[in-house]
Structure 1
Amino acid sequence: MADELSGERDFNQRNIDEFRANGGKVGGQFEGFPLLLLTSTGAKSGQQRINPVAYFDIDDRLYIVGSSAGRDSDPSWAFNIRAHPQASVEIGADPPRRVTVRELPRDERDRIYPVITERAPGFAEYETRTDRVIPVFELQPAD
C-alpha cells in the first residue's frame, strides 16, 4: 500500500509540474481533457495537498468528480474538502483562485452525472466498478 501511495504521489507530482509548465495542459492519458489543480487542506494533517482533477463546466458552474477511477473509496481530496471546504484551484495559466467546495446532494448529483458521462464516458465505466455513489462537487467562487 505504501508503494502504491508513493507511486500515486509521484504520478500526481509529474502531472502538477507538467500542468504548471504548460499553462494547464497535460499530455498522456489526460491530453485534451480539462484538468485543474485543486489545493485542499488535509483532513487529518492540516497540510496543503495539491491534486490534478478533471473538471466540467456545466451551465457556467464548475464541477469535479470523486471517481477515484472506480475504486471502492473516495479519493483523498474528497475527504479533505469535506473537512475543509475552503480550497483553491488553478485552471490553465490563470493564477490560483479561492473556492468553496460543495458536495451535491443526491438529487442534484443524479441530474449532473449523466451530463458528465456524456462528455467523458470513462466516468460511466467507473460507476460500474464500484457499489458506492460517486460524489460530485461544485466549485463556488469564494467571496
Structure 2
Amino acid sequence: MTEQKTEEHENFDVQAFNNQVIAEFRENGGKLTGWMEGWSVCVLTTTGARTGEPRQTPLGYFEINGQPLVVASAMGGPKNPSWYHNIRKNPRVTVETGAETYEATATIETGERRDELFAAVAAQNEGMRDYQRRTTRVLPVVTLHRTTRASTQDKETEERARGLGDFLVEVHAWLRKELADLLRQVDEIIAGNLSSTELERAKPDLAHQLRTHCAEFCAALKQHHTGEDRGAFPMLAQQYPELAPTLEKLGREHEVVARLQEEIRHLVDEYEPGKSDPKTLKNRLETLTQHLEAHFTHEETTIVTALNTLGPAPNIP
C-alpha cells in the first residue's frame, strides 16, 4: 500500500460515512445509491468491547450455500475494524438486512473454511477482491448463525423456537428449585431440634426423605454437568473456537461443584436425628447454592445464545 493510500485511510471519517449509509439503508428498505448501488448490505449491531454499548456498522452481506456472512474488510485498510474486535469478545449480534432483522451468533472462520468462503465471496463481488489486494492482512470472514426467527417489516416478530440454550435455562430453574427444597427440609430439621427433640422423633422419616431428595438432586446435577462436559461443550468448542476460554472456566467450575456435592452427600448420609448438627449441613448447602447460582448465571450469560444455534430443545414430557 502506498503512503498516499495509507494517509487516505487515516483521514477517512468512518463514523460519519457509516451514519450516512445506515440512514439511507433504513429509509430505503435496505437499498443504497451511488457507488454502493446494487450491493447486498446489512447493518450489524455489536456490543462495544470496551464500552459495552451497542455499535452499528453497515457491511456487505453475503450468503454462501445458504450461510450468511460478512467480511472484516475495512475497505482494504491496514487494520481490522472495530466491529471485528467487538465480536471477538461478545459474538452475539443483531443483523438487519432491510427485509428482515434477526439475532445471531458471529463465528470467525479460520483455515481452509475461511479460504473457501472468501473465494466464494470474491467470485461474487469484485470489490472484496480489490480490498484484499490493498492490504497485507488476511481479511477475516465471519459467519452469522441465526438464534431467532426472522422478523420482517411486513409482519410481527415471530416467537423464536426453543433451542438447546433455552433447555439449559429450564434445567437450571429445576435444579434451583430442588436445591431450595433441600434447604427447606434442613430448616425443618433445625426447627425441630431447636424446639424439642421429641418433634424430631415424631418425624422419623424426615432424615430418610432428606437422603432420598439429596441423592436425586446430586444425581441430576452430576448428569447435567457430565452431559455438558461430554456433549454440549465439545460441540460449542468446535463451532465457536472463540468460546474456548469460557468453556474451560465452566469446566473448572464443574470440578468445584462436584467436590461440594460429595461433601454434602457425605453429611446427609451420615446424618443422625438428635445427634448430628444440621446447621453444618445447612452451611454447606448454602455454600453450594452460592457456587451454583454464580455458575448457572455465568452459563446463561455466555453460552445460551450459542447453544440455541446447535439445535432445538429435546421434547421431554
The answer on 1:57 being equivalent to 2:63 is: yes
Contact 1:117/1:123, CA 8 A, preserved across alignment:
yes
Q: Equivalents in 2 of 1:93, 1:15: separation in Å?
A: 16
Structure with greater proportional strand content:
1
Cα deviation 1:35-66 (Å, max 9, x = unaligned): 00000001111110000000111101101001
Q: Equivalents in 1 of 2:96, 2:85: separation in Å?
A: 20
Counterpart for residue 30 of structure 1: 36
Q: Indicate the SS of the match to 2:61.
A: strand
The answer on 1:136 being equivalent to 2:125 is: no
Q: Equivalents in 2 of 1:97, 1:113: separation in Å?
A: 23
Work out which of the two has the higher radius of gyration on C-alpha atoms and give 1 or 2: 2
Counterpart for residue 82 of structure 2: 76
Counterpart for residue 46 of structure 2: 40
The answer on 1:126 being equivalent to 2:131 is: yes
Contact 1:35/1:91, CA 8 A, preserved across alignment:
yes
Q: Indicate the SS of the match to 1:82.
A: helix
Q: How does 1:96-107 map to 2 (within 5 A)?
A: 96-107=101-112
Q: Aligned-pair RMSD on alpha carbons? A: 1.6
Identity %: 36
Q: Indicate the SS of the match to 1:108.
A: helix
Q: Equivalents in 2 of 1:9, 1:16: separation in Å?
A: 10
Q: Indicate the SS of the match to 2:94.
A: strand
Contact 1:24/1:92, CA 8 A, preserved across alignment:
yes
Q: Equivalents in 1 of 2:53, 2:102: separation in Å?
A: 18
Pairwise CA distance, 1:112? 1.1
Q: Equivalents in 2 of 1:118, 1:107: separation in Å?
A: 16
Higher relative contact order (CA 8 A, sep 6+): 1
Equivalent pairs counted in the alignment come to 140
The answer on 1:19 being equivalent to 2:25 is: yes
Consecutive aligned runs of 4 or more in structure 1 exceeding 4 Å deviation = none
Pairwise CA distance, 1:72? 1.2
Pairwise CA distance, 1:4? 3.9
TM-score by length of 2: 0.43
TM-score by length of 1: 0.92
Q: What residue ranges of structure 1 are gaps of 5+ in the alignment?
A: none
